[in-house]
Amino acid sequence: MCMRKLIDSVLIISISVLMISCSSMPQFALDDKAKNKFLSLSGVIGMEFAGPDVGKCWKYEINKGELLLKEVWSCPPQWIKPEPFHIDIPDEAPKGLPNIKNYVYHGPYSYNSDKTLIAISVSPKKSSINYIPTDFVLIRCDKKEILLQTNNHDEYLTIGSIAWSPDAAYLAILEMKDKILYGPREIFFTLFSHPISEYTYFLSIYDRNGNLLVRSQVATGLVGGSGRVFWKH
């Protein structure tokens, strides 16, 4: 009986909080100063985002320097097409990769079309429970040789997805920054499950030498969501 009352109370509180809370839709746009730089890139850069807070997914593509909505569909919480390759724990990294001092392999990675190169995210080796992929390395697969490593960990952006351009001349990196929300609904879910974060996403384009060519904010206000980037002809 006591358990039933507890469950009923939780349900009543949950419904009340959800009714009080009003979810807002995320916003998607390119920075104005970045639009001309995207014009010079061949192929089509696309992104998919999942917003479990509002039960929707969005597909956007960059065309002629503009971020265009291509598709919207309903989706269950946290669903989005998974990354083809992702390392949840360092032991899942492809075998035979060179060791990197003070770093571990963690997060997304991507092969170029002929699989001669791999771009793979890495995390500073702080602790076994605090891996956050903030940088990436470019490795020549046949010789297991590190060609370059970025040094962006002071910018507090987490790498969420990696894609090669069709000609393997560039890399698209989808990065994110989060903040924990503290509204009535978020406090409720924090008490009964885990904190809810709101994400801002950035799209960065690097050349094969590791030079950052452009970085633009692409999405804001994505609550508890996820995203991925792709690049096609």
Q: Residue-wise over 107-142: b if at least 16 C-beta within 10 A, else e?
A: bbbbbbeeeebbbbbbbbeeeeeebebbbbbbbebe
Domain ranges in the chain are: 2-232
Q: What is the pLDDT of residue 16?
A: 37
- The percent helix, strand, coil of the chain (3-state, each to 5) is 20, 45, 35
Q: What is the pLDDT of residue 122?
A: 94
Q: What is the pLDDT of residue 53?
A: 78
Instruction: Report yes or no: 71 and 119 within 8 Å, Cβ to Cβ.
Output: no
Token pair in block for residue 80: 């989005």
User: HEC states along 10-44?
Assistant: HHHHHHHHHHHCCCCCCEECCCHHHHHHHHCCCCE
Average pLDDT value over all residues in the chain: 84
Write down the residue that tokens 């960990």 correspond to.
153
Q: How far apart are CA 210 and CA 207, in angstroms?
A: 5
Range of lowest pLDDT (110-124, 156-170, 180-194) = 180-194
Q: Can you tell me whether residue 77 is helix, strand or coil?
A: coil
Q: Is the pLDDT of residue 77 over 70?
A: no
Q: What is the pLDDT of residue 20?
A: 37
Sort residue 60 into left (φ over 0), alpha (ψ -120 to 50) or beta: beta
Which tens digits make up the pLDDT trace of 92-147?
A: 999 899 999 999 999 999 999 999 999 999 998 875 557 889 999 999 999 999 99
**H or E element at residue 161:** strand 158-164
Q: What is the pLDDT of residue 3?
A: 60
Percentage of the chain lying above the pLDDT 90 cut: 59
Which tens digits make up the pLDDT trace of 2-60?
A: 565 555 455 444 543 443 345 678 999 999 999 999 999 999 999 999 987 788 999 99
The DSSP letter of residue 154 is: G
Q: What is the pLDDT of residue 19?
A: 36
Q: What is the pLDDT of residue 14?
A: 52
Confidence class of residue 182 from pLDDT cuts 50, 70 and 90? low
Quick check: pTM over 0.75? Answer: yes
